[in-house]
Structure 1
Amino acid sequence: MKAVKIDRYGGPEEIYVTDVENPTPADQEVLIKVKAAAINPLDWHVLRGTPYFMRALTGVFKPNEKFQTLGADVAGVVEQVGEQVTELKIGDAVFGDIFNFGYGALAEYICVPEEALVLKPENINFEEAAGVPVAALTAYHGINRFGKIKPGSEVLINGASGGVGTFAVQLAKYYGANVTGVCSNRNIDLVKDCGAEDVLDYTEQDVRSQDRKYDLIFDAVGNLSLSDYKNLLTKNGNCAVIGFGGMTHLIGAGLFGGRHIKMVDFKANQQDLQFIADLMESRDLSTVVDRTYSLNQTAEAITYLETSRARGKVIIKIQ
């Protein structure tokens, strides 16, 4: 089978596609024929080995075996099941976040524990399903689990047109919030279509100059400072920061008594993923797919994602 591989840290030029041995599922695993996978910022961080503290997990001097094939989001069809698999069967269309269950979705086949997967709704395709897990679960935990928004809450989403941001706008709207999105001029209509009532064009408007206060700031960019958060939040407001940029903010979180700012972190689980799948099936949530690449174009896909210009998700379609 074909798989995307890296042998050392570096840029997209280190990525290559090669033949590897087909995997065999363990007792609690299923073998998936991969139909599509998504590229996430996580993948370029693994590729580059940055920030450096990540290497305690991925390998100090070069990627360890687990991280030599990129990809956390997977969607595909079950081709074989282990002896102790009880819920899934051959032929089931499934998707999931496999970062904590093996990683390596950018391959034609992969073995995944049953607990990492849920059934794909019939009314969405594999590309849409592949774009869901990491981004939608990140948005869900920031908006609902930490943000605890309710109908009428004022929510600011910084980076509203990206992979996580488009899901965050939709989820905030689903919970009845009044949503303000921040993006560039070319993405205003997209963010409005996702459900934002107001959209700020950061090329023309400085979000920090507003007098408006928010109950939740969902920062998918990380370019706002702690003092910006303080000025923009209501007295009991919260701020959810996405990605490794949020770690620097946490150092100064004493500004908020250590309670109101959090870097969104979670371990994927079936319950949360099934909730997201149900929203996808009811069309309360949709994947915005920007571009689709082939497995052989993975380096090109990561190069594009690193520009921070992607509108929604970047997908690898595996023939």
Structure 2
Amino acid sequence: MKDMDDYDYISKQHRMNAIVYDTYGTTEVLRMEQIAVPVPQDYEVLIEVYASSVNSWDWDLLRGKPFINRIGAVRKPRYRTLGADVAGRVASTGSLVTRFKPGDEVFGDLSGCSWGAFADYVCASERALTLKPDGISHVQAAAIPQAAVLALQGLRNHGKLHRGQHVLINGAGGGVGTFGIQYAKLLGAEVTAVDRADKLHMLQTVGTDHVLDYREVDFTAIGTTYDVILDVIGNHSVTALKHALVKGGRYVMIGGPMPRILMNLLYSPFISTLEQKKLSVLVHKPNHEDQLFWIEQVKEGRVVPVIHHEYALHDIAKAIQDLAEGKVKGKAVVSIRKPTAGSAYI
């Protein structure tokens, strides 16, 4: 680790590329800008970013919608640079960091600390990061942190999914869904995936037992019931959803419009008591242990991150727009730079 006084001097001489925005809006407000390389605080590391990936939360923060994303930042964005998922190499460490050293390859979810992964460098709390094993690319690692952990927490923690059960994943064609399908199949569950027609073949390749095109079939109206429903979209009423659950079944909402989230929270106690069906809203919690679970599955070949496309840093706007329009199959990964043996540590 370099002396921090030396680092302060070096950082002032170095600039980096970052995708920034100063006002809420669509992808048109994003721009590439050269800014100073950040300085890690005591418990932070500076990461030379090799890859990141796009999540729906990036789109929500960019627009400032729903309004909950503006709490504490009503007039201007809280984070000038978006990007929660990160994979890269530790370039420098704060004075109190104990888990990592310069040269370590890491990945993680920065939504609990700094954000800012759509840049050449980013500072992050050491608690947000996990060592990346050899044999797994930075692109693969960058696809994991937020989407895969959401899938795990939704199906394992909230859904209590186990062998022999039937799970439906609504909006299964994105990152959460493709990881969720593979987790469910590891457990020996039966999986029905709901999404648009152009994603159904991909969903079958990752192990789905049944696929439904939501534009042709309303899964809440066909009479089939499920032990667990994992909902990434939130496009059905509470009344319709409870009819699609078996007695004792569990519905887990990960995403959707705020009115539906509030209705879910409002009616959940009554449905749980009267019909013995559990409705819950998952609050995302970045988790090092959950990241370790997923990286082990990928390392052993039991799970394969589905990568829709590798975008360049200057194509962030297109990556976010593709996600917003539902075009992304699996994960949209941003390949910021290729690892080289000569990468310098700051």
Please state which band the TM-score falls in when normalised by the shorter chain. Answer: over 0.9
Deviation per CA, 1:192-243, whole angstroms, max 9, x where unpaired?
1212111122233331232221110011111122122111101000001112
Residue aligning to 2:312: 294
Write out aligned runs for 1:1-319 (5 A).
1-57=16-72, 59-64=73-78, 67-245=79-257, 247-248=261-262, 249-257=264-272, 260-319=278-337
Q: Using the alignment, how far apart are the partners of 1:172 and 1:255 within structure 2?
A: 28
Deviation per CA, 1:67-109, whole angstroms, max 9, x where unpaired?
1110110010111122222221221111000111111111100
Counterpart of 1:46, as a letter, is: L
Task: Work out whether residues 104 and 131 of structure 2, in 8 Å CA contact, stay in contact via their aligned partners in 1.
Answer: yes
Counterpart of 1:20, as a letter, is: I
Q: Using the alignment, how far apart are the partners of 1:8 and 1:186 within structure 2?
A: 34
Task: Work out whether residues 121 and 280 of structure 1, in 8 Å CA contact, stay in contact via their aligned partners in 2.
Answer: no
Q: Using the alignment, how far apart are the partners of 1:62 and 1:29 within structure 2?
A: 25
Task: Work out whether residues 235 and 256 of structure 2, in 8 Å CA contact, stay in contact via their aligned partners in 1.
Answer: no
Task: Work out whether residues 272 and 279 of structure 2, in 8 Å CA contact, stay in contact via their aligned partners in 1.
Answer: no
Counterpart of 2:51, as a letter, is: A
Secondary structure at the counterpart of residue 305 of structure 1: helix
Q: Using the alignment, how far apart are the partners of 1:174 and 1:292 within structure 2?
A: 27
Secondary structure at the counterpart of residue 87 of structure 1: coil
Secondary structure at the counterpart of residue 237 of structure 1: strand
Q: What percent of counterpart residues are identical?
A: 39
Secondary structure at the counterpart of residue 220 of structure 2: helix
Deviation per CA, 1:166-202, whole angstroms, max 9, x where unpaired?
1111111112211111122222221112121111222
Q: 1:261 offset after TM fit, Å?
A: 1.1
Q: Using the alignment, how far apart are the partners of 1:208 and 1:100 within structure 2?
A: 35
Deviation per CA, 1:246-280, whole angstroms, max 9, x where unpaired?
51332333452377111111321211211121112
Larger CA Rg, structure 1 vs 2: 2
Q: Using the alignment, how far apart are the partners of 1:136 and 1:241 within structure 2?
A: 15
Task: Work out whether residues 221 and 240 of structure 2, in 8 Å CA contact, stay in contact via their aligned partners in 1.
Answer: no
Counterpart of 1:243, as a letter, is: G
Q: Using the alignment, how far apart are the partners of 1:53 and 1:160 within structure 2?
A: 25
Q: Using the alignment, how far apart are the partners of 1:122 and 1:190 within structure 2?
A: 27
Q: Which runs of 5+ in 1 are unaligned?
A: none
Counterpart of 1:141, as a letter, is: Q
Structure 1 length-normalised TM: 0.95
Q: Which runs of 5+ in 2 are unaligned?
A: 1-15, 338-346
Secondary structure at the counterpart of residue 71 of structure 2: helix
Deviation per CA, 1:108-152, whole angstroms, max 9, x where unpaired?
001111111111132221111111111001101101010111110
The structure-2 alpha-carbon separation of the partners of 1:204 and 1:247, relative to structure 1 and needing over 3 Å to count, comes to closer
Structure 2 length-normalised TM: 0.87
